[in-house]
Each structure stands twice: as C-alpha cells, then as structure tokens.
A and B are shown apart, each in its own frame.
Chain A
C-alpha cells in the first residue's frame, strides 16, 4: 500500500487537508449556504504557516498559498515521486489540461488552445518578446520599428525589452506616466502622445506592452481603453503584462481584447510558486506562432503543448489550480467576493494611514485593486531608491512590518513634496492590526526624527 501523505517523515507539515482527499472536478459556483462559508478561524488556520510576528502587508510581491492548496501540491508531488513514468505517460497532460480549462473559464477566453501555462509573467514576457526579436531578424519587422512600453513597466520586462527588442534593432519608446495619478484621462493622454511619437518617423508600431496593474508605483491602468486606442492607431499587437491581475482586478479576455495577456496565479489566486497563464488570441492559419524558449519534444505543437513539457521538472504548482479554485469558492462570492472585500479594505486602510500621517493616496480608489500607494511623511527624508530600501529593511527588522517602499523623485519645480510611498496590499489573511502596526511604526520613526 502507498504510504499516507501525512506520516512521521513529514511532521514539518502543519497543513490541514480539510477533508479534500482527491483533486476532484471542483464546482465553479461558490457555495450558496452561508453556514458553509469559510470562517475567520478557518482562514487563520489556512495561513498559520505565515510568520505570526510579521505584519505581512505585501501580498503583491510574492503572493500567498493556503494550507489546503499546499497539501494538494504535496499530494501531487508524492504521486509523481511514487512512480514518475506512470505519472508522465498517464496523468501529467490530463492534469495540465484541466488547469488550463479552469483558467480559460476564469478569464473568459474563447478556446482552451489560447491558454498556455508558464512559470511566471517574466517567462511570458520572454516568450512574446523573443518572438518580436525573431520578427526583426527575419525581416518581417524593419529596423527602427517601434515597441511601446510604460515607464513604470516591471524591471525584468524592461530588461527583456533590452535583450530582445533593442538588441534586434527595434526602437523602444517609454510612455511616461504621472504619479500620483488623478484619473484615467491623464494616462490616456500620455499614451496617445507616445503613439504619435512612435508614428512620427513613418515607422510602424509593432507592439505595445501595457501593464494592467503597474508594480511600482502601483496603479490600475485603463487597459481596455488603451487597447481600443491601439487598434484605432494601427498598433499591430498588444501585450498586457498583468502579473498582478487575476484575483485582484477583473480579467476578461473578450472584454479587454488584447493579443497577448499574462498573469501570475501565485500572487492573488492562492497557487503555490509558481504558475502563470499566457493568453494568446487565436490567429488565422499561417500566422506566426509563439514558442517556448526551452525547446523539447513538443516543439511545433503550439505554445500550450510546448509549455506543458519543458523537460523533467516539478509541475505540481501547475496542477493544483482545481484546489485553488475550490479554496476560493469557500468564500462568499468566490473570487469576486474576495476581490471586492480586499479592495474595500485596502482603500479603508490606505485612507486611515494617510490621515494618520497627514499625507495622501497615490491614486483614487477606483484606480486600485487590492493594493494602494500611501504617501509617507516627508520628515522621513526619503531622497533616493536606497533610502526607500533602507526604510523597508528597517521596518522589517525593527518593527516586524513587511511592506515595499517606493521612491518618487520630485519633478521640476516641486518643493517639499511627498517622495516616499508605501504599497500596501490586502489579502484574506490580513487584519486591521497589521496596518495599525505599520501606522504606529511610521509615527514612531517620525517622532524620532523630530
């Protein structure tokens, strides 16, 4: 007989199985009876592996994974280790297809072929941009053709642009964005100006890379509107880097209308590290296909199939999407309910902090999802990126608060403005005390300065 998963050798596991012994087909609708919704005590239990001494208000960076999903992952791993050949021949493909199908429904894609599973948004960006580089090399794109991205694009994606686009002869144009930001119109205006710049030399704009939720500083971008503008202005393809989106803002492929869209499930959708999906809108036959850079047996069978086997690895994080969905559906309103409550809470906490410190929010509430930027008191004297990092480390080590800090350089003519912002997140495990702890830590630092 097989050894049970919770045996002496795994005594480090303090996770609970919650009675879910198999990864069965989960129901898509959340439970209707209020008596069967997850309770606060159960939520606490699910995240009891989090360090209790830390006010963890940075779900945005590394996400979180509840005990029941971790347990599902362990079962999957042990199942593989038990007889890997059998797993490879008879179970892996099925499991990945099941995950892809769930994601397809979650994001309203038309065909499961359009959904590939990859490690993370960084990998998805490499896949899209490598394809762009190839188009330059083989002459489909001309040297000097434009690729657009936001100034606040994620650091890794900027490097990917350098490695794949600039290097191949493409011209990268950055769209500057105001921060703090007051409205979608400000973003749309800058975007249109950048498009004009791109077209001004008679070159084609081959690709626009647009964040759905920028990382730092964190703002929800009006992607649907920007995609529409791209179509009107003849931008060939649009790639939405939505690393944070799924589980944090609304994600609807038909509604948004992009050609490529990627989001991490390990940030806001309770999957373990790491798993992301890359949506690629179906193209007419003869169109050029994307490829996974790690070429294996499935090369040429479509990105989704290629990505499902890139050599021997642990695919368990990609196989537990059903368990994550099951977890989410224990909450009232499922993922929609979670999103709404996170949003309301993070706005409330953000306003509480801004009021206590005499500062302001970095964006209006309707331009944020489950994260919001809160200005830090100017007396903290944040004058560069190192100061911001130093404050973050100090908060972690001296106050037990984990929160990323952003340095916002003053613009020309600005004096005495707020130069430091905290990006606070709210996820189901957070408590009001977490933000009070942060509030008090900053107030103490301010008093020390005086």
Chain B
C-alpha cells in the first residue's frame, strides 16, 4: 500500500516531534522497504553523471534528512527565543538518547554531540595536555599513535601534547596489510619504545578505521594490549565507524570513542558523537568554547557553545527513520556496502593486474586498490594530479594515495614494476557498479594513451 503523501518524508513534511517516540532499535519495516527509484530520488541532489566513489571523505545526506533539518532551521528562524528556551535542549537530548541506544552506551551523560572528530580530538587532547602540564603525567611519559593517524589529529597532538612536555611514539602501519597479527605486533613494539626513557605510555590514540591508507584495525585486541601494559587512557578515533562497522562502546571499552555521523550515517554536515566512559569521573574534560554550561559535564557544555546552527545535531531521530526503511536497517546497509565494495575492488584489481590493500575482512565500506605501476605515482603530488585529472576529465571522484617503497621483499609489485599508488574506493547506497567500471576504464584509458601521472592535464 502506498503511503500517504503527508507521511512520506521525501515531501519534506517531516515533523520533528514525531521522532520523540521512535525507538532506534525498532525493527525495520519489511512491508515496503525503500526501492531503487526512491534511493535515487533521495540522492538526486548529487551531481548527476558523476562517479562519486569517495563517500569516505565528506559522507552524504539523503533529501528526507535534509528536509527534516530544514524544518528545524525554520522553527529557529520563526521564533528563536522560544526555540532556545523550549525546543533546543530537548531536541539535542533526544538525539543523544538515540545515539546512546545505537552504540550500546550505559548512560546518556556519557554521550556528547560535537561538530566532528577533529573537535573531539581537540577536547580529548587538551585534557591530556593538562595532565602533562600539571604533573599527573611526567615529562618522560609518552603518547602512542599510528603513523597514518588523520593529519589533523596529528597536528592536534603536536599542538597539545608536545608543548606540554609529552613525547610521541608513532607506530608504523604495515601496508598493504595482511593480518591483524602484524598490526598488533607493530603496536606492541611501539609500546616498548614508549617505555625507553623510563616513562610510561599514558595515552593511546587508535583509529578504528584508518583514513589513508584505509584499513579496519583490530581495536578490541589493541585496547586489551593497552590495558595489559597499563596505558592510562585509550582514545579511539572512529571517524568512519558508525554506519560502516558495528560500534558497541561497552564491548570496545575505550575511554573515549568518537565517530562522525555525517560520513556513513547520513547526517548533514556536521555532527559527531564522543562517548566518554564514566564521564562523571572526568572532572577536567571540557569543550574549548566555554559558555554558560561550563562545569556541567561535557555533554551539556557541547550542547551550547554560543548561538549557532544546531540543526545537524537535531536530526538523529530522522536519520534512524531513514535507515530503517532499508531491509535490515543499518546492519543491512553495512553488509551490502561491504560486499559491494569488496566485489568492485576485486574487479578493479583484476582488471589492472594489481591487488587489494588489505584482506576483505579488514575493510568495511571502503577498500584500497593498487594502481598499475606503469602510472608512475612517485609522490603525493602525482597522486593528487591523478585525482584532479580523474575529476576534471573523467567525472570521477576518488581519493588517491602514494606510498614510497620500503624494503624490496615486502613491496607490492605488478608485472611491470613496484606499486606505489592506490585508490580508496567507497561504496554507499547511492553507488552503482557503473561508477567503478568507469574508474576501471579511465585508468585503462590513461595507460593505453601511454600517460603517467606527471603528464596528466588537470585543468
């Protein structure tokens, strides 16, 4: 039976108040799962005729969620004082409660909404810096992270830890990666290095899914290792996680866990959650933008950082309604994305004579695929030229990655030489196999034309 137009969220008539009573764990309706044409319609604002295989960078947001956001925005503009006094706080709490259920958190107080993972990193790292500054952490103590941690977060560590006196240990992520075991082994070596100056490793920053090169790390095992070694605090940067891998914060058991909702969970730009284990015990965790709620706990501090547009934080219930239109809800979406991206990655690797950057079980909705050595990716600039060329000349958006050769035995090869370039392909519900065939053909065309990266026109 077709739904009434009034109930159809695509028509924009999404009343924010309806979501107060939705349980996020409600089983998805199986009577009428969303159809292919519906999905196309939901993303019809994406550039048409364009292979958008980079959901990982900026995410995506369906029309029905944008519509819900617009409703909230309009309510604010109509009578902002009334909105501020009567609706805002309630709305944010509802979103936080929805996230709490989604991630299996114990206490909604432990769930804060912030702009993005970059902001969460600043919050967590500032409090680490304070512990170095006030002597709780000693000058020869260390923090540990992977070398491929997100560049913005590395800068944040540089800004807040270094000047406060802490030293930083970087763990090299073996890539292409073959197994969880090799990652855990490298990490254990890193922990040993951290103790060299007679200090302790106080803080570990672990990606759940690294950005570039993209791999799903064995966070549960890594955290176990941290606990065994007496690391005081573990922060999981799960920027990509929610909506691409299952996130159970109790099971993962990090002290801090952040994930962006706008990447793989269909939120508009931008909103992320930061889960803090036992937040009531964390007296010195603050949002850097201090406002009237200072001292009332991070969740409340983050819910008011001065007059701003909070609508991205208010639409979580609407997002749940959207994902529950799919067979299997978010679980179904994750599985289909994963299977799809592995299938397409394998197809590309076969066509190009290269390989995947990780085994399929170490990826979620993104996978790294080696580029033919004949393309001669010899620098970050080459990788960027290729990306720009693909965007401008082939209407394909896909991020590229350059990795210098390390030692001859492990370095990946194809029949023509060493592989130093990769693409990171994403798969989200709006993608079709066509997108990836277009990429396959574009690369093959470049090779046929005898071009290498440094020769490619970019304008």
Contacts and interface: CB of A to CB of B under 8 A. Distances in A.
Contacts of A296: 118, 152, 155-156
A159 B54 CA distance: 41
Interface in B152-168: 152, 155-156, 158-160, 163
A9 to B, nearest CB: 5
A51 interface: yes
Interface string A286-321: 000001011111011000000000111110010000
B118 A82 contact: no
B81 interface: yes
Interface in A187-226: none
Interface string B285-312: 0101111101100000000011111001
Interface in A133-164: 137-138, 155-156, 159-160, 162-164
B232 interface: no
B81 A402 contact: yes
A54 interface: yes
A346 interface: no
A2 interface: yes
Contacts of A297: 151-152, 155
A160 B295 CA distance: 11
B306 A83 contact: no
A426 B133 CA distance: 48
Interface string B41-77: 0001111101010100111110100110011001011
Given A9-B63, A81-B61, A119-B305, A311 B117 contact: yes
Interface in A360-399: 393, 396
B112 interface: no
Interface string A2-30: 11000011111100000000000000000
A299 B159 contact: yes
A312 B160 contact: no
Given A83-B46, A273-B308, A54 B79 contact: yes
A348 to B, nearest CB: 24
B233 to A, nearest CB: 18
B294 A162 contact: yes
Contacts of A137: 133
B337 interface: no
Given A83-B47, A311-B116, A312-B58, A274 B309 contact: yes
Nearest to A274: B308
B270 A313 contact: yes
B80 A295 contact: no
Contact of A264 (B289, B290, B292, B307): B307
Given A83-B47, A311-B270, A156 B291 contact: yes
Interface residues of A, number: 71
A324 interface: no
Interface stretch (A99-107, A121-129, A171-179, A433-441): A121-129
Given A84-B57, A120-B308, A296-B155, A402 B270 contact: no
B261 to A, nearest CB: 11
Interface string B157-201: 011100100000000000000000000000000000000000000
A83 B397 contact: yes
Contacts of A10: 12, 67, 70
A50 interface: yes
A159 B152 CA distance: 28
B294 A82 contact: no
A122 B295 CA distance: 16
Contacts of A58: 81
A311 B118 contact: yes
B445 interface: no
Contacts of B122: 293-295
Given A61-B81, A84-B57, A159 B290 contact: yes
A81 B46 contact: yes
Contacts of A126: 288-290
A70 interface: yes
B262 interface: yes
Contact of B74 (A9, A49, A80): A49
B305 A122 contact: yes
Interface of A: 1-3, 8-13, 49-51, 54, 56, 58, 61-65, 70, 78, 80-86, 88-89, 119-123, 125-126, 129-130, 137-138, 155-156, 159-160, 162-164, 264, 266, 272-274, 291, 293-297, 299-300, 310-314, 317, 393, 396, 402
Given A2-B48, A159-B292, 19 more contacts: A9-B12, A10-B12, A51-B79, A62-B307, A81-B46, A85-B57, A85-B397, A159-B295, A160-B290, A162-B294, A266-B307, A273-B309, A293-B288, A295-B152, A295-B158, A296-B152, A311-B117, A312-B118, A312-B260
